[in-house]
């Protein structure tokens, strides 16, 4: 016997509601395996996953990303870190290349004496700079200063080209002035003063003090 009254009117509405709920759950169930995925557009991913009965799970970070994040957090001064690392690599390279040469003594220095000593000093300075970058805060690296890098590198090459025919004074002065030009605060008077002081120091220590056979004034000036 058919039902009469309010109950009869509620049955079709309840059936439609249950049918709509099943359709919604069926659609969400198809996306459950894709949560979170790029195909879901609209509400946040975790809301869709909860509605579908799933759980919002983020992918576990890889070992590489963990190491990279640790290094980035540990580096308080990236510019000092990479500068110090460059010093260590350069010093290690020069030290390796000088292994086959005779070292000598401080009074009778061999061909590898200065390269080995300078390489050790360079490695020590690099390690100190790297250690400082882990403690003291500094500015981040904004970009590669190609002009400064070219000037500093070229100053060393220029010294090697000038020291034989131009003499120690000219080569040292050129080294100081060209490398100082890499700085944004470069000033001619300051660079000339530094060149004069360093050239005098090298002449007193290496030529007169240690007796190295390096001409102060080269063949270009009549000697």
Consecutive sets of 10 residues in the chain, 223 residues long: mean pLDDT of each? Answer: 50 79 72 48 50 49 50 66 87 83 75 81 90 77 74 88 88 91 88 92 86 82 66
pLDDT of residue 64: 56
- pTM (2 d.p.): 0.45
Please indicate, yes or no, if residue 206 is contained in any of the structural domains. yes
Say if residue 207 is in the same domain as residue 160: yes
Residue 168 in 3-state DSSP?
helix
Say if residue 94 is in the same domain as residue 78: yes
Please indicate, yes or no, if residue 57 is contained in any of the structural domains. no
Residues 125, 120: Cα–Cα separation, whole Å: 9
Say if residue 177 is in the same domain as residue 205: yes
pLDDT of residue 111: 74
pLDDT of residue 80: 80
Question: In the block, which residue shows the tokens 């009549």?
Answer: 222
pLDDT of residue 192: 92
Closest CA to 169 of 195, 192, 187, 188: 195
CA quadruple 132, 136, 140, 143: dihedral sign: negative
Say if residue 76 is in the same domain as residue 135: yes
Say if residue 166 is in the same domain as residue 130: no
Please indicate, yes or no, if residue 58 is contained in any of the structural domains. no
Say if residue 151 is in the same domain as residue 223: yes
Please indicate, yes or no, if residue 114 is contained in any of the structural domains. yes
Please indicate, yes or no, if residue 1 is contained in any of the structural domains. no
Residue 19 in 3-state DSSP?
helix
pLDDT of residue 118: 86
Domain span at 35 = 6-51
Say if residue 132 is in the same domain as residue 154: no
Look at the chain and count its residues: 223
Instruction: Give ∠ CA 59-65-67 in degrees, rounded to 5.
Output: 135
pLDDT of residue 31: 54
Say if residue 67 is in the same domain as residue 95: yes
Q: What is the DSSP letter of 219?
A: G
> How many Cβ atoms are within 10 Å of 192's Cβ, its own excluded?
14
Say if residue 122 is in the same domain as residue 180: no
CA quadruple 140, 144, 147, 152: dihedral sign: positive
Say if residue 148 is in the same domain as residue 190: yes
pLDDT of residue 141: 62
Say if residue 177 is in the same domain as residue 218: yes
Considering its fold, how many domains does the chain have in total?
3
Please indicate, yes or no, if residue 196 is contained in any of the structural domains. yes
Say if residue 107 is in the same domain as residue 174: no
Instruction: Give ∠ CA 166-170-176 in degrees, rounded to 5.
Output: 140
């Amino acid at each position: 016997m058919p039902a009469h009254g309010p109950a009869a009117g509620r049955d079709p509405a309840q059936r439609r509601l249950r049918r709509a709920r099943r359709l919604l759950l069926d659609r969400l169930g198809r996306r459950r395996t894709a949560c979170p995925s790029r195909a879901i557009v609209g509400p946040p991913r975790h809301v869709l996953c909860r509605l579908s009965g799933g759980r919002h799970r983020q992918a576990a970070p890889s070992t590489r990303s963990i190491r990279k994040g640790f290094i980035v957090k540990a580096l308080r001064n990236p510019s000092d870190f990479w500068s110090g690392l460059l010093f260590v690599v350069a010093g290690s390279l020069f030290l390796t290349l000088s292994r086959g040469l005779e070292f000598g003594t401080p009074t009778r220095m061999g061909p590898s004496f200065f390269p080995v000593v300078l390489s050790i000093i360079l490695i020590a300075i690099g390690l100190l700079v790297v250690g400082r970058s882990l403690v003291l805060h500094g500015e981040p690296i904004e970009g590669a200063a190609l002009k400064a890098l070219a000037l500093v590198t070229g100053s060393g090459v220029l010294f090697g080209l000038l020291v034989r025919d131009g003499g120690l004074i000219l080569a040292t002065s050129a080294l100081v002035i060209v490398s100082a030009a890499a700085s944004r605060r470069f000033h001619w008077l300051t660079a000339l003063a530094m060149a004069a002081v360093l050239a005098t120091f090298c002449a007193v220590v290496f030529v007169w003090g240690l007796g190295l056979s390096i001409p102060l004034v080269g063949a270009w000036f009549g000697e």
